[in-house]
Amino acid sequence: MGGCTKEDVSYLDRRFSKKVRDNVHGNIYLDPLSLKFVDTEEFQRLRDLKQLGLTYMVYPGAVHSRFEHSLGVFSLAGEAVHRIKAQQGSELGIDNLDIQTVKLAGLLHDVGHGPFSHMFEHEFLHRISHGIKWRHEDMSVRMIDHIVDFHHIDIDAECLKKAKEMVIASTEHVSHRSVNEKHFLYDIVANGRNGIDVDKFDYIVRDSRACGLGCSFQIERLMDSMRVMGDEICYRDKDYLTIFKLFSSRADLHRTVYTHAKVKAIELMFVDSLIKADDYLQISSKIQDPAEFWKIDDSILKTIEVSHEQELKEARDLILRIRKRDLYQFCNEFSVPKDKLQHFKDITPQDIVCSQGNGDITLKEEDVAVCNVKIDLTRGRSNPLENFLYYQDFESNEKFPVHDYRISHLLPAFCEDRIVRVYSKNPDLVKTVSEAFENFQLKTYGMKAQVHATPDRKRNRRSQKTSNKDIPKIVENLELACRHYRG
């Protein structure tokens, strides 16, 4: 029998565990089986993946890694299932196998994650994969199998199967489970039912702290409130606003950190750099094979930057521009009107170029970059709180929904924002791109949906720049002015 059995309780004994000090959760104790996965090069790779990708170039403290996030989710997953067992273990039949499986899923849920946060799969691979769908959750499952096979990890087959299912539990292609399965266990790490899980618990608190932001969400309050009723995790009705704060904190992070205008400018530039480097470095050719994929990490940036290969010159020049803060220039943004959201399609550079009016300069698609930002409460335009069931107190056995109007009239009536941002890749074309963007808004929505106009100092940068041939004339005029003053 493998290293995860119903009878094996050694992982509960700290004499057999390794202590790791985490700056968010304090002491984390890794059991022997989990250590077998942690002490592999595939898992250690997560140290070289920044949790927030290139965000540290705007928020200097955001240098924490997928490694520490994974340990945090491991810790919270174990704590959650332990609390449920302490309160309801006898009626739910939670055993040591269940506990180890949930913890393992928390530990390994991001082991197949790409570099540079979600930019790698949502931006880079989306543009070059030609319709091929690639998800880090699927790669995590393949990577788990690779680690087990390559490192000959002795693990119970049922434990391994369930842990992999828990990793992809939030995706729509979850494998069929038997009717006797403990479904609530699959909602702890990656919750596909309503989106509340310990993965969010960790990254919301960890990312807020790293970026120097406050966080009003209380993990402890929700952990204490968890109760399984009808094979799903429910919460006390008093914790309605605490759950709302979880989702609103996540939305705030998306708006102020993950999709910050400067962060997206840097990401757009680096995606262009990766695309130019892909033929030479063969990055995209490694995304299907775990044995090759684990070798890809954030060091790609430095590889391109220090290379002297002519094939990487264009990619290298873009990174040098990022280093010198010569970024794609933000022109403006607008929020898509609510009545247009249902049929909204991503705006492309072609849409902006085709909206250009008459002028001296003719824009090309390669002059424009567009970022389509989606910010929601995890359920698009739907309110995720409508998917929750609550209970009144620990003595009650009834679960029920709670509606917004019974709590507060200050809660949002709409749960999704779509923001379109347009950038000029050439700083000298900001005015032209800005005007084309404004024309696009007028043509599409009959109004300028943006709040502010592009500042004149950006629009007129081209006319304000002084060329070398103008310098002698300027010097001559200064000398004439000085002689006139002395005379």
Q: Are 98 and 8 in contact (CB under 8 A)?
A: no
**Active-site residue flag, 109:** no
CA angle, 426 then 431 then 432, to 5°: 80
Residue 484, Cβ density class (10 Å: 0-12 exposed, 13-18 middle, ≥19 buried): exposed
Distance CA 174, CA 167 (A): 10
19 phi and psi angles, rounded to 5 deg = -90, 130
Distance CA 422, CA 433 (A): 8
Distance CA 107, CA 101 (A): 10
Q: Are 270 and 116 in contact (CB under 8 A)?
A: yes
Catalytic residue among 136, 176, 183, 260: 136
Distance CA 7, CA 226 (A): 26
CA angle, 40 then 42 then 44, to 5°: 70
Distance CA 38, CA 67 (A): 9
Q: Side-chain half-sphere of 121: how many Cα atoms within 13 Å?
A: 16
CA 120 to chain centre: 10
Tokens 């999709």 -> residue:
259
Contacts of range 280-289, beta carbons closer than 8 Å, 24 or more positions apart = 280/309, 280/311, 280/312, 281/312, 283/124, 284/124, 284/125, 284/128, 284/129, 287/114, 287/125, 287/134, 287/139
Structure tokens at 433: 């791109």
Distance CA 109, CA 212 (A): 26
- Tell me the CA distances in angstroms from 150 to 111, 142, 154, 294, one per residue in order: 15, 12, 11, 13
Residues designated catalytic: 136
